[in-house]
Structure 1
Amino acid sequence: MQMLNHSYRGLGLLMQLNWDRMLFVGAIVAALFLGAFLGSF
């Protein structure tokens, strides 16, 4: 249980440090999908 708690805290720290990078990747993916959607008309 203690190992699970430590790994959860480590994952939370990793997410806190890299949330802007994931947001950037998500924005690129959303823009590609939107471009493909608009290009299909």
Structure 2
Amino acid sequence: MQQAIHDGYRSLGLIVNLNWDRILYGLTIVVALCLGTFVGSF
């Protein structure tokens, strides 16, 4: 069980390392949209 959890974390880390730029890109868009909504509400 412990080994499966460890392998899961390792594969998750690999996925995050491979897709970090995409995650950051999506996060930037979400933050920009939220900021635009906040500024537009005034």
Q: Please confirm whether the aligned pair reaches a TM-score higher than 0.5, indicating the same fold.
A: yes
TM score, norm. by length of structure 2: 0.90
Which residue number in structure 2 is paired with residue 31 of structure 1? 32
- Over 4 Å off, 4+ runs: none
Question: Aligned partners of 1:19, 1:3: CA distance in 2, in Å?
Answer: 24
Q: Which runs of 5+ in 1 are unaligned?
A: none
* Residue correspondences, number: 41
User: Identity of paired residues, percent?
Assistant: 54
Q: RMSD in angstroms over aligned alpha carbons?
A: 0.6
